[in-house]
Amino acid sequence: MIRRAVVPALLAAVALTSAAGCAGGGAAAKPGEPIPVDDRRSPSEVGGETVDGGRIDLASYEGKVVVVNFWASWCGPCRAEAPALEATYKENKDADVEFLGVDVQDTRDGAKAFMRKYGSTYPSLFDPKGEITHAFSSVNPSALPTTLILDREGRVAVQFPGSVSKSRLDPALAKIVAER
C-alpha cells in the first residue's frame, strides 16, 4: 500500500523539479546546444579580483565570444575537464575567443595550486563567496563545474552543466563563433 502512494509522489516531485529547472532563464535549449537568439540573456555586471590578484571585468571582452567556466579546486569533475578547457583555449585565443574562469567557494592557495597543476593559463576571477554566480542567475550556474559560452553581445548562448569534454565544447563554440 505504501509503495502505491510513493510512486505517484515521486512522479509529481520529478515533474515539479523538471518544470522548475526550465523556469527562469528562457534557456530553451538542451545543454550544449545554442539557446535561440531571442531567448538569450546577459548577466549583470561581472568583474572583480583574479586568483593572481589582478582585476578583470567581463565588459572588457566586448565583441568577443567568451567561454566562462565555474570551477573549484576541490571539485573532482573540474579537475577532469581542466585539460580540455585549456586545450580549447589555446586553440582559439587568437580567434576573438576569450576564456574566463570563476573560482567559486575556494581558497586562493587552493585555486593557485589547481591552476599550476592543470596548466590553466587563462584568467580566473576569485569568488570565494559565490557572488559572481548570482550575476548569471538567468541560467543558474550553481552546480560545479558549469561552462557557459557567451555570444559577441555578451549573452549566454550555450550552457554545459557538469563536466564538459573537448568533443562537446569545440563544436558548440564553433557554432557561436560562426554567428555574425
Helix and strand totals (H; E) in the chain: 5, 7
What residues form DSSP beta bridges with 101? 69, 124
Could you give the CA distance from residue 50 to residue 41 in angstroms, rounded to a whole number?
A: 24
Active site residue 22: no
* 75 labelled catalytic: yes
Query: Alpha carbon of 8 to those of 1, 3, 13, 14, 38: distances in Å?
Result: 12, 9, 9, 10, 36
- Strand spans (E) along 53-136: 55-57, 65-71, 97-104, 124-127
- Catalytic residue (choose from 46, 51, 67, 75): 75
**Angle subtended at Cα 34 by Cα 91 and Cα 132, rounded to the nearest 5 degrees:** 75
- Choice among 51, 58, 78, 169 that is catalytic: 78
Residues marked active site are found at 75, 78
